[in-house]
Amino acid sequence: MSAKGHSGRQSPRAPVTILIVALIMALAAPSLAFVAILLFQTDVVTRRQLEARAEQGVGAISRTVDRELRSMVTNLSVFAASGWIETEEYDRLHARASAALKGSGSYLVAVDENAVQILNTRAPWGTPLAPLSNPEPARQALATGQPVVSDVFVGNLAKEDVFNLTLPILSGHARARALNLSRSVTTLAPIFQENLPPQGWIYAVLDRQGKLVSGTAPVDGPEGVLRQLCGAGVNGLRQQAINGITYSTTSETVEPWGWRACVWTSSGEFDAGAAQRWRNFTILTIVVVLVTILSGAALGQMLAGAIRRAAAVGRALDAGGDVPEMHSLVREVDDVLGTLTRAARRRLNHEQEQAVLLSETAHRAKNQIAIASALTRLSARSAQSVDQLRDDIVARLDALGQSIDMMAKSSSGAVSLADLITTQLEPFGAGRERLELDGPDVSVSPTTAQPLGLVIHEMATNAAKYGAWSSPDGRVRMSWSRQVDGGLVLEWREEGGPAPKPPERTGFGSSLIEMMIERTLGGKVARNYTPDGLIATFRLKPEGPLG
């Protein structure tokens, strides 16, 4: 691609509002991410705490079951060691056990090696007894020599759900080979009252077949749901979705009995806190985003408006027009607006001053051309020869140039009247002994200085040719004063020269003086030819003679 193609490509541009919104979002994003991380960490910690409480709860249930079963083994050991089994005094054992177990919900059963009942305290002594409803645990205990707890079953005499704990009798040759305690499952509930799981959790104790021994099954599902929740392989806290409902559960096997203890809760209980926190975070995020967009848009519009005002001032400055007063709420932009406004007004004032200066220059140039033309016409009218015409024009143009030089040295163009008179009379060699000046410190405007300088030069020329300065003892006294109305009066008085006499015809000098004073400056000229010398009075109007 050529360099021209690169230079013609414009860089991507975006409104200031979008940039500010993006900036605020970039600043807010880390905070939102930090909050999200905190929430995630909170969920992790909460889950760990729940796991710990669940494990603590299932451990307490398991220990309670184990302690209760071992207590039953202890009771059976006491009955086995009573001596009535060796002496075959089963009636006394029946009576003693009935008394000892009264009200406990437990009943003593003695069986022979074939698991046939010898006594059962649930029935009176001597009552014919049927075979055991669940003989398998007794056979297993006799075979292993270890105490065995049965699963839950419905007893023939109890007519309700019961379980047995069988203790084999390892010594002696008595007919009774094992003792067991038959107990209703309803008697287990009170033993867990002091070891309940944490609030919100529900406990359950299951036998080896998954049947509920104690605790509570889910009310919104069949008993099979409980076997799925507390079945083998569910050790540790985990979540399970069953029949559209999510459960959190943990369980463990009660060794060595084979039953399982578990605690469980629905996901609504477990995740309520986490879900609420994330809902709050989502709402907070939405609010932050909306506030960011609205505040960024408002701030962006404010800055964009300030920048547009600055651009308007810049365009006005570029166009050279007047700049209106503008302000901004942004201090830096307001400073820029003030600077641009001042620059624009300085430029406008400068341009106006230049226009006035150009107009004044053109006006002065026209005046000077008009004066030069008049000088030439008058000089030609009175000249006797070309050389005289040349000398008169050069002398009068020099006088005009001196006035112009004085005005150029002043910033306003106004010159001191005393300096103007001195400058015009200096070429005539009039020192202090032959010239006296008297008057206040007065400045005259440029429009007055040029014609008045020519008048003074012409008066000096006449004095040198025909008046006071034509005689060695002649003197000139020039004075001026301000009038009440603001006008200016100048007096030219000659002394010590030839006696003046009125001219027979109007010559160049008189014509020039009258034209400059009366026509150009709108004043009046008065001449008085006294025996002592000429007295000329010039009255200037107050319309602009004074600087």
**pLDDT per position in the chain (547 positions), as tens?**
444 444 455 566 777 777 777 777 777 778 778 777 877 777 777 777 777 777 888 888 899 999 999 999 999 999 988 888 888 899 999 999 999 999 888 999 999 888 889 999 999 998 888 888 889 998 999 889 899 999 999 888 888 899 999 999 877 678 888 999 999 989 988 888 877 777 778 888 998 888 888 888 776 555 677 777 787 665 677 777 777 777 888 888 999 999 999 888 876 555 666 677 778 878 888 887 788 778 777 777 777 777 777 777 777 767 666 666 666 666 777 777 777 777 777 777 767 666 655 665 565 556 556 556 655 665 565 556 767 667 666 666 666 565 566 555 555 567 888 888 888 888 776 666 788 999 998 888 877 888 888 888 888 888 888 888 888 888 999 999 998 888 899 999 999 888 888 877 767 677 888 888 888 888 999 999 998 889 999 999 885 544 4
List where CATH 3.30.450.20 sits in the chain. Answer: 53-269
The three state secondary structure string of 279-339 is HHHHHHHHHHHHHHHHHHHHHHHHHHHHHHHHHHHHHHHHHCCCCCCCCCCCHHHHHHHHH
DSSP 525: E
List where CATH 3.30.565.10 sits in the chain. Answer: 382-540
Query: Which among 502, 505, 504, 524 has a CA at the least distance from the CA of 513?
Result: 524
Q: Contact, 265 vs 201, CB < 8 A?
A: yes
Q: What is the CATH number of domain 53-269?
A: 3.30.450.20
Fold classification of 382-540 (topology level): Heat Shock Protein 90 (3.30.565)
Residues 6+ apart with CB under 8 A from 218: 225, 226, 229, 245, 247, 264
Residues 6+ apart with CB under 8 A from 417: 439, 442, 443, 444, 480, 488
